[in-house]
């Protein structure tokens, strides 16, 4: 459904300038980078790399409550598509003890075949709350013109994370993808992450769906992530 290319710093800066008010940009935005190696890029339960490993990376800019960024990954759809490049931006705040996140994500596919209609945009609203070592959250994504044949699409997810000990995080999520042409489906995942150092972490995760198709079958993934 969904890629090795990295968005340029100029593209991220342009997105940030467009998405963030001048008073927030004046706060000297913080910049963070990340690079990952994963055994399989899984998006909402479906392998995007034909069950093969790939390299991923991104950059995030934050100024006050506003943020923008870019992320890219290798993909394998069985055609000429080489990579997925995502550009995103939004606003984070707090209310009533909940962390709130409102934003949008644009998905672009490098060298996608003509007429494939892979590119799409989603709007996001998410909320989470920390209760001791546990964080509970929910998110809603809506697209007016989704990937491929589908037009309007909605994805809803409930997620949770638990920190049982220093450097360890146990997390999971259950989501439902509603589509107007393709069949709706449900997906879930659960995994454990361990911080090897302040800037290096490893995540081992199980994914599954209720779809009877090879790229949606249950699988384990392992990801090594570097942040700096």
pLDDT of residue 25: 52
Q: Which CATH architecture has domain 9-227?
A: Beta Barrel (2.40)
Q: Is 22 helix (H, G, I), strand (E, B) or coil?
A: helix
What value does the mean pLDDT take over residues 37-51?
Answer: 98
Of the candidates 69, 64, 71, the residue with the CA atom closest to the CA atom of residue 41: 71
Q: What is the pLDDT of residues 71-121, one digit of tens each?
A: 999 999 999 999 999 999 999 999 999 999 999 999 999 999 999 999 999
Residue keyed to tokens 């209760």 = 131
What value does the mean pLDDT take over residues 8-34?
Answer: 65
pLDDT of residue 1: 40
pLDDT of residue 17: 56
The sign of the dihedral angle between the CA atoms of 13, 19, 23, 29 is negative
Contact 17, 61 (CB under 8 A): no
Q: What is the pLDDT of residues 110-145, one digit of tens each?
A: 999 999 999 999 999 999 999 999 999 999 999 999
Query: For the whole model, what pTM was predicted?
Result: 0.88
pLDDT of residue 19: 53
The sign of the dihedral angle between the CA atoms of 43, 46, 48, 50 is positive
pLDDT of residue 6: 41
Quote the CA–CA distance of 172 and 194 in Å, as a whole number.
15
Asked if the model's pLDDT at residue 45 lies above 60, the reply is yes
| Residue ranges in the chain assigned as alpha helix (H) | 9-19, 22-25
Quote the CA–CA distance of 169 and 109 in Å, as a whole number.
32
Quote the CA–CA distance of 223 and 55 in Å, as a whole number.
10
What value does the mean pLDDT take over residues 187-198?
Answer: 98
pLDDT of residue 28: 80
Q: What is the mean pLDDT of the chain?
A: 92
CA distances from 199 to 34, 54, 73 (A): 9, 20, 20
pLDDT of residue 7: 46
Residue 158 burial by Cβ neighbours in a 10 Å radius (0-12, 13-18, 19+): middle
Contact 36, 118 (CB under 8 A): no
Asked if the model's pLDDT at residue 178 lies above 60, the reply is yes
């Amino acid at each position: 459904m969904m890629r090795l290319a990295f968005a340029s710093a100029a593209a991220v800066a342009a997105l940030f300038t467009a998405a963030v008010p001048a008073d927030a940009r004046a706060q000297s935005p913080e910049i963070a980078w990340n690079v990952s190696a994963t055994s399989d890029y899984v998006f909402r339960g479906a392998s995007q790399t034909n069950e093969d490993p790939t390299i991923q990376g991104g950059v995030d800019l934050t100024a006050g409550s506003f943020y923008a960024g870019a992320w890219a990954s290798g993909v394998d759809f069985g055609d000429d598509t080489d990579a997925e490049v995502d550009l995103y931006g939004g606003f984070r705040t707090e209310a009533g003890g909940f962390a709130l996140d409102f934003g949008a994500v644009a998905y672009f596919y490098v060298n996608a075949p003509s007429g494939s209609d892979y590119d799409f945009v989603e709007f996001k609203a998410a909320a989470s709350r920390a209760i001791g070592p546990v964080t509970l959250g929910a998110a809603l994504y809506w697209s007016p013109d989704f990937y491929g044949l589908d037009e309007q699409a909605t994805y809803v997810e409930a997620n949770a994370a638990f920190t049982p000990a220093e450097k360890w995080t146990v997390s999971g999520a259950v989501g439902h993808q509603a589509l107007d042409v393709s069949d709706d489906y449900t997906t879930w995942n659960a995994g454990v992450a361990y911080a090897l150092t302040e800037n290096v972490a490893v995540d081992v995760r199980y994914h599954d769906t209720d779809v009877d198709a090879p790229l949606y079958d249950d699988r384990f993934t392992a990801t090594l992530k570097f942040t700096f």
